[in-house]
Structure 1
Amino acid sequence: MNKSILSLKLKEYREQRGITQEELAELLDVSDKSISKWELGNGYPSKKNMMKISALLDVSLEVLMIEEQNEDSRLKRSFKYTLISYFIIFALTLLIRGVKEGNRYEDILSKELSEIIKIVIIEFGQNIYISIVPALIIGLVFYFYIIPRQQID
């Protein structure tokens, strides 16, 4: 299991208070292996223990819980910006190519529906990949730079 925000913060708050794993385990009436497991991200404390940890380490329960959700929220927001960027860039690409090559399909409405669909699918397929790289760059900028700065402010 990967280290979670909670596991990293639990250790940080415990060390800030100068409490060892053994001392915290004794205060919570659990084994020191449980504390170690929580700090390694291999498990989570029960709700009852979360409330005790909150009181013992003088950290609000909301902070312990919200920090766990922040990373997930950051990833979702970044993905949303990546997707929006992709569609905007894709639409602009089609628009620019349409203006540039406007006379290419002047008589498209006189063709059969199946032929029109075939042309649209081919055009779509030829232009779909152009937008991926810039959209991914925009998403990464949001994930690593913009969203963390918003959280600080």
Structure 2
Amino acid sequence: MIISHMLKAKRKEYQLTQEQLAEKIYVSNKTISNWETGKTKPDIESLILLAKLFDLSLDNLLLEGSDMVKSMDKDIKKGRNLKKILALVILPLIIIIICLSWVTYKGSHKTIVPLSDISNIEMSDNGTINWDN
């Protein structure tokens, strides 16, 4: 049975309004409405509270092949795909940042010599500075 239909049937069987059910499981009545119309599905914490309230086992709510299992499986696959995409984007960015940092370091690396160690400083025609120790 589709979870939205089961929730609505159980709520009516227990003679609860959407507002009353919402208070019992700590969600808004709009959330209950969305569950019953199939716009959204309950999270696992809400499913546990619903199972306790309606004296159901989680197996009844999460029967293999039900829309809830398919929805959760779809969400899990989306999460795995997101991790792959992030890995494909972030890893090259990290490598680029490391390479740019290395190039910047090598380009700005200067030799520091104390002035007391220099006896003669000369500027060559190509703009480099030469000194004698």
TM-score range, shorter chain: 0.3 to 0.5
Structure having the higher Rg? 2
- Name the TM-score, length of structure 2 as normaliser: 0.47
TM-score under structure 1 length normalisation: 0.41
Instruction: For CA contacts below 8 A with separation 6 or more, give which structure has more relative contact order.
Output: 1
